[in-house]
Amino acid sequence: MKKQLTTVLWAAALLLVCGNAAAQTIASSIKGRVLSADGQALEYANVLLQKAADSSIVKLEYTLADGSYLIANLEPGQYRLAVSFVGYPNYLSQIHDVQAGQTLSVPEIKLQPVANELQGVTVKAQKPLLEIRPDKTIFNVEGSITASGSNAFDLLRKSPGVVIDNNDNITMLGRAGIRIYIDGRPSPMQGADLAQFLRNLQSNEIEAIELITNPSAKYDAQGNAGIINIRLKKDKKLGANGNVNLGYSVGEKAWYNGGVSANYRNKKTNVFGSYNYSDNEFLNFMTIDRSQLGSRFDQSSEQNSVTQNHNFKVGADWTLNQKETIGVLASGFLGNNSYHGDGRTEISRVGQTAIDSILIAQSDNAGQRNNLNFNLNYRFDNGKGKSLNLDADYGMFRNTGEEFQPNYYFDAQEKVKLSERIFASSTPTDIDIYTFKADFENKLWGGQLGAGIKATYVRTDNTFDFFNVLDNVKVLNTDLSNQFIYTENVNAAYVSYSRQLKKWGFNAGLRAEQTNSEGDLEAYKPVNDDNVQRHYLDFFPSGGITYNLSPKNTFALNYSRRVNRPSYQDLNPFQNRLDELTYEQGNPFLRPEYANNLQLRHTLTTASTRP
Indicate the residue among 114, 135, 166 that finishes a domain.
114
pLDDT per 10-residue tile (average), the chain, 611 residues: 34 32 57 88 80 76 83 88 74 89 90 55 54 73 65 80 77 80 82 77 83 87 85 79 78 76 89 88 82 86 87 92 93 89 90 89 89 94 89 93 90 86 90 95 91 95 89 88 90 94 89 92 71 90 87 83 82 69 78 87 58 35
Same domain, 392 and 541: yes
Same domain, 110 and 243: no
What pLDDT does 582 receive? 74
The pLDDT of residue 201 is: 81
For position 468, which CATH number holds?
2.40.170.20
pLDDT at residue 199 in the model:
80
Q: Cα(216)–Cα(433) distance, rounded to whole angstroms? A: 24
Identify whether 9 is part of a domain.
Answer: no
Question: What is the distance of C-alpha 271 from the center of its chain?
Answer: 29
Asked whether 228 and 239 are in contact (CB, 8 A), the reply is no
Check residue 513 and give its pLDDT: 96
Last residue of a domain, one of 114, 136, 170: 114
Residue type, 182: I
What is the CATH number for 30? 2.60.40.10
Q: How far apart are the C-alpha atoms of 562 and 17, rounded to whole Å?
A: 10
SS3 320: coil
Residues 243, 110 within the same domain: no
- Binning the chain into helix, strand and coil, the percentages to the nearest 5 are 5, 65, 30
Q: Are 390 and 377 in contact (CB under 8 A)?
A: yes
Residue 135 lies in a domain: no
User: For residue 49, which phi and psi values (nearest 5 degrees)?
Assistant: -100, 125
In a domain, 495, yes or no: yes
Domain count, the chain: 2
468 part of a folded domain: yes
Task: Say what the pLDDT of residue 143 is.
Answer: 57
> Has residue 579 been placed in a domain?
yes
Q: What integer pLDDT is reported at residue 107 of this predicted model? A: 92
- How high is the pLDDT of residue 299? 87
**pTM, rounded to two decimals:** 0.71
**What span, in angstroms and rounded, lies between the C-alpha atoms of 158 and 146?**
9
In order, the DSSP letters of 446-474 are TEEEEEEEEEEEEEEEEEEEEEEEETTEE
Cα torsion 96, 102, 106, 107: sign: negative
User: Which residues are registered as beta bridge partners of 361?
Assistant: 343, 407
pLDDT at 551: 66
Report the run of H or E that residue 270 belongs to, with start and end: strand 269-292
| Tally of CB atoms within 10 A around 551 | 8
CA distance 373 to 182: 12
Q: What pLDDT does 514 receive?
A: 96
- Choose the final residue of a domain: 96, 114, 132: 114
- What is the number of alpha carbons within 13 Å of residue 42 lying toward its C-beta? 25
In angstroms, rounded to a whole number, what is the distance separating the alpha carbons of residues 357 and 580? 14
Domain assignment present for 61: yes
> For residue 268, which of 323, 317, 329 has the smallest C-alpha distance?
317
Distance (Å, whole) CA 101 – CA 30: 11
588 occurs within a structural domain: yes
Q: Are residues 242 and 379 in the same domain?
A: yes
Q: What range does the domain containing 315 cover?
A: 238-280+301-337+368-404+424-604
Instruction: Give domain status of residue 286, yes or no.
Output: no
